[in-house]
Structure 1
């Protein structure tokens, strides 16, 4: 009689388990029972119990449970008492934890046992059910039997989560074969025959056949030149053995590493977590005409060792190798899996090498086509841990991390030289660091120039007609050149593109864009609307020039009409006079310093239609530039020089100024 709170035991199961853990637990007990019966060849039959309710679409009914039958020694008194004892040590030599049957009730509502066994030259029949209260064994009966051989049937009934199992026996058989594979492949061990079928023994699948020979169509072993490795634990060398298999037609499964204890798969980790090239299926062709048919497969590595046998957890869902994130032992699960992954990598040598080369080509193509500023960084980049078939974002993140690593190392080297730690080798050390700094600087320059190329392409697009035959909004061009509602106090150097107009504008001390210079409703330089102006200046010194821009939307020329109040030339002149009269201040509220000889530059950017050109020539007395893409005039009395430029000229000149950089840096 037991006195165990069975329900609490089941609730406290914390290991990584599944419904297959419960099924395998019963199968393994059946295998061990056949090992104890030397009178006949061992056999285990697994029969699926299906729902009596038929599916409306005619498909297979759900599987609600299993009947596992073996021809082992049966539930003798010793086995019965062991079942009735929590944490029994009866099978401790075989790795038994005395706990597995409780996992069955985590996934099935009922566990029923029927067994014929031999005692004192007579056969007896024992039946019972596993309880859920204080008793482990309930509803027990035991008496003489007419059986002529021992056997046991364990029924797992009323699965708690119906969708946790596939309806097809082929799928279940494959999953069970994979989990029981260590029994089929353990050296010097003859596994009993294990058969999965319907309840009436139809549609039988022999699990042993999955790996019975080297021409298996489902599972095939990969020969290894190195099938073991060693790790050191507490000055003791631990030996591990590995066997590698191909699993054909894996569907959504991934290549994995399985750690085995006492012939049972305990844990499984994806191989691509250690070697990224294992993230996708492999392919091979079967012998036949025209090269045969292609079939895909994944790889699974099974690792064995006494160390694993000793440290498997109570629920057999993990290993007790760490606690609270800290290793309990010097050998960790990661150490074991890393070593196994390297052996798997060597075994798949040519396939892995091809994938590594492809990954290298993908990264190089990304750098050549999209990020040439990383050419210096990619030379030393270790791609070992980078995902296979990486996305552009993943490549960029890895390159950025490598760039940061370089910069950190450079700072350390410079600090060391400056501290005089390597004074005797000063010259070679300095030369090395200077060379590295030069390469790093070139890397940043290429990045900057490449961004310029992209900006010019975007700027050119903004000057084209859209699909509806209209020009882009004023705000688009504004934001490309200088963001709206900003000035140099809040807009970083990298966030504007004043160089499109003139490289010198990059060195302006302050720029106002769409912000009233004197607050309130005062006039404001504004790039958001083409009819407003923008003002640039270097340091606030009387000798430094002040530059004013007036933009007009492409193809707009109504500002030349006599009735228009938007004459851009007159607007610039009025704006210059207001500044000369001291009406405006800097963004910091200081007086804008000007003298009679302070130079002013005015620029009107618009499309030079025939109407605009006639207006400039006949009414404004402007002179045409040699390329006929611009006009100019000098207003001597107010020290103002004005140019009227076409949008095409702005774009063309910017491209010409930068083309040599694109070419020299290999990004043209």
Structure 2
């Protein structure tokens, strides 16, 4: 008589099991019962129990449970007493934990047992069910039997909470075969015949036939070096790998499975370790070639005493850690990584072909989209990327490698600076300088490539829109420098002032279309206070001030006498505001100027006939030699002004950068 709090015990079953676990447990018990009997005609049968209405899609009812029958030795008193004992050691020699039957109650409401056994030359029937309170065996009945053979029948039914994951008989068969494949391929112990059926099918499926010659769906692949070892706290531990092809796969993922006592315990995708396993493989037909063939996946099974010794009570996981295991010395990740490499050797040609395709994809991205990574891409290992990486995945991977290299370089520089001088100091410095140079080349290529993109966008912005109108000055303005922003709130990479003048990349303070203490009407589009960053100088009166004013492409109404948007007058007025100390920076400090502070004013607009006439006859500007702009010098306020066209702005920027674009092959 047992006294176990079965409800609490079942509730405390840890993760790692699933609704297939009880079925596998019962099939294994059936196999062991047949082996115990020692007959040569062993048979294990699985009946699928269904419940509810058929699904409108596949016309199948949901799975409610299973009945597993065997012609083994039956529930003798010894076997019955072991069933009634928590953690029995009856099957310890075969890896039994004395606990597996309790997983049935985790997923199913009912467990019923009927068995015929032999004793002293007579046959007896035994029946009982598994209790849900404190008794493991309840409602037991034993009586003489008219049967002429032994065997058992165990029913699990009333699936709990969630639906069984599969309904089709072929799918369920495939899962059971995968979980119990070590039994089917064991060369030292013959597996009994195992069949599965349900009430809808008159023809059962024989699981052994998955490996039969006339219906081969699983084939073992030859592996040159199937064993590997790892050192552990109690000496070297050896593992053995067997690799199989699974045709017509239930799922399109290749797996690595760790096995304990001939039962699959865990499985994980091989692509976790080798991305090229992400897709199915294809085997062409011997007669019709690629026109006809079969898809297959790879599954690598790992065996070893270390796995047998460390499997959990529920057989859903192992007692060692997944990643690093200081206690045992060997982790699951280590084992699976080596097994994946062995599986790769079994299909090496296809993996190599897939890697070539991946390398070509990466090379094309770098060549056409990210030339700044050319040097780095030749030096890094891309094996960790997915089989068909997206552009984003490639870029993120390269950026990570670039950052790692920069950190390494900074660490080396710090070590050199903190170390005592030695004979090899020169060599160390040269090595670090070379590393810095390569990184700088990549950054320069990236920077120049971005300039090409900016100029292309700017050229597009100067064209007529779908509505037949030109873009506003705001849109083209934002490409050069964001409106209503200043350099205190922007990174130097967030503007493209180099389009106007390369020197403006080093401006220390910028106001863009942002009101100051002066009237909102008295504001220019971009005001730049130049100060060489390298000297970190203060706000010195001798530093020049540069002012820009943008006008919408093809707009020329600002030259009308009634217009309040005369850009020449606006720049002159703004210069006088600055000279009179009425403009302050974002921190409230006055912009310091002197009587001789130089000012530069630039107006960017389209030079229509009306604008040209206005500049020549009303503003008294002088034409530039190329005919695409005008200039003037207001010596009393030390202001030099230019009026240039949008086309000139774009053309000059392209000319200044053309040689760089040409060197990169992006012109």
TM over 0.5: yes
What's 1:578 paired with?
Answer: 577
Tell me the CA shift for residue 543 of structure 1: 3.4
Q: Tell me, which stretches of 5 or more residues in structure 2 are unaligned?
A: 532-537
Superposition pairs for residues 224-235 of structure 1, below 5 Å? 224-235=223-234
Tell me the CA shift for residue 55 of structure 1: 5.1
1:52/1:610 Cα in 2 relative to 1: closer, same or farther (>3 Å)? closer
| 1:515 and 2:485 correspond | no
What's 2:660 paired with?
Answer: 661
What's 2:468 paired with?
Answer: 469
Superposition pairs for residues 585-624 of structure 1, below 5 Å? 585-624=584-623
What's 2:367 paired with?
Answer: 368
Q: Distance in 2 between matches of 1:324 and 1:345?
A: 21
Superposition pairs for residues 174-323 of structure 1, below 5 Å? 174-199=174-199, 202-213=202-213, 216-322=215-321
Residues 27-67 of structure 1: per-residue CA shift (max 9 Å, x gap):
10001111111244100111112226455678122222211
What's 1:530 paired with?
Answer: none
1:217/1:518 Cα in 2 relative to 1: closer, same or farther (>3 Å)? same
1:543/1:157 Cα in 2 relative to 1: closer, same or farther (>3 Å)? closer
Question: Is contact 2:522-2:570 (8 Å) kept?
Answer: no
- Higher deviation after alignment, 403-412 or 99-108: 403-412
Secondary structure in 2 aligned to 1:414?
helix
Q: Distance in 2 between matches of 1:193 and 1:635?
A: 104
Secondary structure in 1 aligned to 2:597?
coil
| 1:96 and 2:99 correspond | no
What's 1:148 paired with?
Answer: 148
Could you list the runs of 4 or more consecutive aligned residues of structure 1 that deviate by over 6 angstroms after TM superposition? none
Q: Distance in 2 between matches of 1:91 and 1:247?
A: 31
1:502/1:265 Cα in 2 relative to 1: closer, same or farther (>3 Å)? same
| 1:429 and 2:439 correspond | no
Tell me the CA shift for residue 460 of structure 1: 1.9
Q: Distance in 1 between matches of 2:593 and 2:116?
A: 112
Superposition pairs for residues 23-42 of structure 1, below 5 Å? 23-42=23-42
Tell me the CA shift for residue 583 of structure 1: 3.3
Tell me the CA shift for residue 607 of structure 1: 1.1
What's 2:523 paired with?
Answer: 525
Tell me the CA shift for residue 260 of structure 1: 0.8
Question: Is contact 1:44-1:71 (8 Å) kept?
Answer: yes
- Higher deviation after alignment, 411-420 or 482-491: 411-420
What's 1:129 paired with?
Answer: 129
Q: Distance in 2 between matches of 1:58 and 1:462?
A: 56
Q: Distance in 1 between matches of 2:599 and 2:323?
A: 71
Secondary structure in 2 aligned to 1:164?
coil
Tell me the CA shift for residue 221 of structure 1: 1.4
Tell me the CA shift for residue 599 of structure 1: 2.7
What's 1:628 paired with?
Answer: 627
1:592/1:291 Cα in 2 relative to 1: closer, same or farther (>3 Å)? closer
Secondary structure in 1 aligned to 2:504?
helix
Q: Distance in 2 between matches of 1:103 and 1:630?
A: 86
Q: Distance in 1 between matches of 2:226 and 2:325?
A: 29
What's 1:85 paired with?
Answer: 85
Q: Distance in 2 between matches of 1:444 and 1:291?
A: 46
- Higher deviation after alignment, 192-201 or 165-174: 192-201
Secondary structure in 2 aligned to 1:133?
coil
Q: Distance in 2 between matches of 1:440 and 1:388?
A: 27
What's 2:11 paired with?
Answer: 11
1:145/1:331 Cα in 2 relative to 1: closer, same or farther (>3 Å)? same
Count matched residues. Answer: 661
Q: Distance in 2 between matches of 1:401 and 1:70?
A: 58
Tell me the CA shift for residue 590 of structure 1: 4.1
Residues 329-358 of structure 1: per-residue CA shift (max 9 Å, x gap):
112222211211111112221111122222
1:481/1:200 Cα in 2 relative to 1: closer, same or farther (>3 Å)? closer
What's 2:392 paired with?
Answer: 393
Tell me the CA shift for residue 367 of structure 1: 1.8
1:422/1:371 Cα in 2 relative to 1: closer, same or farther (>3 Å)? farther
Residues 375-408 of structure 1: per-residue CA shift (max 9 Å, x gap):
2222221222222212222222221221122222
What's 2:535 paired with?
Answer: none
Tell me the CA shift for residue 361 of structure 1: 2.2
Question: Is contact 1:417-1:423 (8 Å) kept?
Answer: no
- Higher deviation after alignment, 422-431 or 372-381: 422-431
Question: Is contact 1:62-1:162 (8 Å) kept?
Answer: no
What's 2:377 paired with?
Answer: 378
1:128/1:593 Cα in 2 relative to 1: closer, same or farther (>3 Å)? closer
Q: Distance in 1 between matches of 2:52 and 2:370?
A: 63
1:487/1:135 Cα in 2 relative to 1: closer, same or farther (>3 Å)? same
1:595/1:167 Cα in 2 relative to 1: closer, same or farther (>3 Å)? closer
Residues 599-633 of structure 1: per-residue CA shift (max 9 Å, x gap):
32221111112222222233223232233221222
Question: Is contact 1:556-1:607 (8 Å) kept?
Answer: yes
Q: Distance in 2 between matches of 1:504 and 1:81?
A: 92
Aligned-pair Cα RMSD in Å: 2.3
Tell me the CA shift for residue 362 of structure 1: 2.2
Superposition pairs for residues 540-579 of structure 1, below 5 Å? 540-579=539-578
1:592/1:13 Cα in 2 relative to 1: closer, same or farther (>3 Å)? closer
1:410/1:422 Cα in 2 relative to 1: closer, same or farther (>3 Å)? farther
What's 2:332 paired with?
Answer: 333
1:27/1:293 Cα in 2 relative to 1: closer, same or farther (>3 Å)? same
Secondary structure in 2 aligned to 1:424?
coil
Q: Distance in 2 between matches of 1:381 and 1:12?
A: 47
